Amino acid sequence: MELKCGAVILAGGRGSRFGGVNKAELSYLGKSFCGRIREEFDRLGMDCFFSAGAYPPPEEPGLKVIPDLPVEGEEGPIGPMGGILSCFEQTRCDLLFFVSCDMPLFHRRMAARLLELWTPGTDALVWRTRSGSLVVDFMDGEARRGGLEL
């Protein structure tokens, strides 16, 4: 049985560290952050979803928008975790790749590598930096110089 893989661009936050702007619509080299990330997943042939939270989704033809579902006891979107929950509940994918909307340098090789490493029964795979941190800043180091190591 072939697994159905999908990709989710997470935009459930309020952009508070960016002064309240909709990060998915920021541009890098003439393309929106969201558009750049989506192109990478399109090249892998994956369905791409947009997890919409506090801001309206970008104007991207064919992009499947998944609004954050309300969580019992909460008012309105609750951020990225609410988006992740909504996507698991609303897609028909066996595997989902989640990428924050503020990662315009995301490259499809990253998703392809994770897919190679995934084995049945594994619940999650995450990137870890060389120093061991789970928080990865792809605007740093090798990625900026164009030599991203996987």
Q: Which pLDDT tens digit goes with each residue over 36-68?
A: 999 999 999 999 998 887 677 777 777 888 887
Residue with tokens 């661009």: 9
Q: How far is CA 13 from CA 122, 125, 128, 150, in A?
A: 27, 22, 23, 28
The span from the CA of 52 to the CA of 86, in Å, is 10
Report whether 114 contacts 97 (CB < 8 A). yes
> How does the average pLDDT of the chain come out, rounded?
76
Overall average pLDDT of the 78-102 stretch: 82
Q: What percent of the chain has pLDDT over 90?
A: 11
